[in-house]
Amino acid sequence: MTKGATQGAARRRGRRPGGTDTRAALIDAARAVFIEQGYDGATVRAIAAKAGVDAAMVNHWFGSKEGLFAEAVLKLPFSPHELAERLLDGDVDNLGQRIVRTFLTTWDTTGGGVFTALMRSITSHELAAHVLRDFLIKHVAGQVLKSVGIDHHEFRATLVASQLVGMGMVRYVAQFEPLASTDVETMVAAVAPTIQRYLTGPIS
């Protein structure tokens, strides 16, 4: 991912032992190990061993296991840590807006191809859904919701996931019009109140 490589450059300064071959090998190994072992079960050591490189290369190229997952499996142009920080930077009452805006600007940039590939992996069981769940719900949404200090974290996180996944399916995969080509701010106005209620509003 050129974009990931560029934005993540700060983590990869200095000499580049193993070069881009090492990086590509780690991404291939990571996909295999995450799918076999699950997100929590996969270790940096096991991924590095499968790639035939030193475990220090993971931190060198990806910052952390999270960063490697985000880039190898989700192909996100930022780390989940950066994502959580960006979402939490501002008023909690506008969190829904920031989530919808970030989701759409990120996936719109790639034309939705990466999102479609991700959904295809899940529906065809190439990517075990629980790997994605552990990562998204526990490690990203869980973090955000803990900071918000609200009840029913995990149910709220899965409700948020339901609206975001569905928005991506309709916009990028099925491409139902007019939603598929509606501008980002119109989408934010329509969908952010849903996300905000799932995060901090009444849900029962």
Q: Which of 10, 124, 149, 183 binds its own copies (CB under 8 A)?
A: 124
Minimum Å distance from CB 163 to its own copies?
A: 5
Q: Which of 17, 129, 146, 184 binds its own copies (CB under 8 A)?
A: 129
Which value, in Å, is the radius of gyration of the alpha carbons in the chain? Answer: 17
Closest to its own copies by CB, 17 vs 113, is 113
Should residue 24 be labelled a site residue for its own copies when binding is judged by CB under 8 A? no
Tokens found for residue 203: 């849900």
Residues 6+ apart with CB under 8 A from 108: 184
Nearest Cα residue to 135 out of 65, 43, 36, 49: 65
Nearest Cα residue to 137 out of 113, 155, 163, 164: 155
Should residue 21 be labelled a site residue for its own copies when binding is judged by CB under 8 A? no
The b/e string for 161-197 (b: 16+ C-beta within 10 A; e otherwise) is bebbbebbbebbbeeeeeeeeeeeeebbeebbebbbb
Minimum Å distance from CB 193 to its own copies?
A: 7
CA 35-39-44 angle, 5° bins = 95
Should residue 109 be labelled a site residue for its own copies when binding is judged by CB under 8 A? no
Cα separation, 121 vs 116, whole angstroms: 9
**Window 152-191: residues binding its own copies (CB under 8 A):** 154-155, 158-159, 161-167, 169-171, 173-180, 182, 186, 189-191
Should residue 94 be labelled a site residue for its own copies when binding is judged by CB under 8 A? no
Closest to its own copies by CB, 53 vs 137, is 137
Residues near its own copies (CB under 8 A) are 116, 119-120, 122-124, 129-130, 132-133, 137, 154-155, 158-159, 161-167, 169-171, 173-180, 182, 186, 189-191, 193-194, 197-198, 203-204
